[in-house]
Structure 1
Amino acid sequence: MKSRVDAFHMADTTLNSDGVVDLLWPEFIMLADGNYIAYDNVREGTKAFMASLESFDSEWKNVRIIPIGNNHAISSFIFTDSLVAKDGTISQSQGPNTFVWEKRDGIWKVIYGDVDHYPME
């Protein structure tokens, strides 16, 4: 399970949108900053967002993986993101992230996510 969480972090920070999407089940839904986003919107939004970036640095602290049965687990962490857009705009945020992972046929992917971004001052 830890390797899957690490794979998600690696895909994020290397701007590998296909790698991120490959770690999501098609039924994935996310509550992001108070708005629910379905899989299709996450898939397209991730590709467009990552294509707009020059770099994406994300530090994850207090990573925890909590098994809940044989086929489910929760991962949670506090992130600090620093993004540089292709137009030179820099943005920084931090906040909590929680994923619910589901194992099907021996493969772990995320079925649900919750994230809140707070600007850094």
Structure 2
Amino acid sequence: MDARLLVEQVKSQVQAFHTADTSKNAQGMLDLLWPEFTMLVDGHPITYEDVETGSKSFMASLETFHTEWKDLKIIPLGEQHAISSFIFTDSIVAKDGTLTQSTGPNTFVWEKRDGQWKVIYGDADHYPIELKR
């Protein structure tokens, strides 16, 4: 496979993940994960089942989910695997008015099966953004 085509395919999936996040579409996000998906979030391991259980209630608790992803890099690891990495900056408002802002790195390992790219592994760290007074 042409490396440029692979990069474009994975980039499209990263953009779909961003769209699912910002539209609070938990199912759309889950559709981009393989069932064996695991991730370290702030040093804590989570599984596909954890995301499936927690993301729907989490997304439903939000008023807005704004996130900017910058410095996106896609690194092909052959024809069936690729890494995406970016820096995110989140600004999340819960329905109770609580504002949470954080920034940090995100890395996904993408795997292609039957022509579909989905995430098999991830790592993300959230660092609070201190509000200036």
TM-score by length of 2: 0.90
**TM-superposed deviation, 1:48:** 1.2
Deviation >4 Å, runs of 4+: none
Residue number in structure 1 paired with 2:119: 110
Residue number in structure 2 paired with 1:27: 36
Higher strand share: 1
Mapped to 1, the partners of 2:57 and 2:74 lie a distance apart of 29
Could you tell me which of 79, 94, 97 is aligned with 2:88? 79
Residue number in structure 1 paired with 2:79: 70
Q: RMSD across aligned C-alpha pairs, in angstroms?
A: 0.5
**TM-superposed deviation, 1:47:** 0.9
Q: Does 1:4 align with 2:4?
A: no
Mapped to 2, the partners of 1:46 and 1:65 lie a distance apart of 25
- Secondary structure (helix, strand or coil) at the match of 1:9 reads helix
- Secondary structure (helix, strand or coil) at the match of 2:35 reads strand
Larger gyration radius, structure 1 or structure 2: 2
Amino acid at match of 1:9: H
Mapped to 2, the partners of 1:65 and 1:27 lie a distance apart of 21
Amino acid at match of 1:90: L
**TM-superposed deviation, 1:113:** 0.5
**TM-superposed deviation, 1:84:** 0.4
Q: Does 1:92 align with 2:101?
A: yes
Q: Does 1:46 align with 2:55?
A: yes
Structure 2 portions without partners, runs of 5+: 1-9
Amino acid at match of 1:97: N
- Secondary structure (helix, strand or coil) at the match of 1:19 reads helix
- Secondary structure (helix, strand or coil) at the match of 1:97 reads strand
- Secondary structure (helix, strand or coil) at the match of 1:49 reads helix
Mapped to 1, the partners of 2:118 and 2:106 lie a distance apart of 15
Identical aligned residues as a percent:
69
Q: Does 1:14 align with 2:17?
A: no
- Secondary structure (helix, strand or coil) at the match of 1:70 reads coil
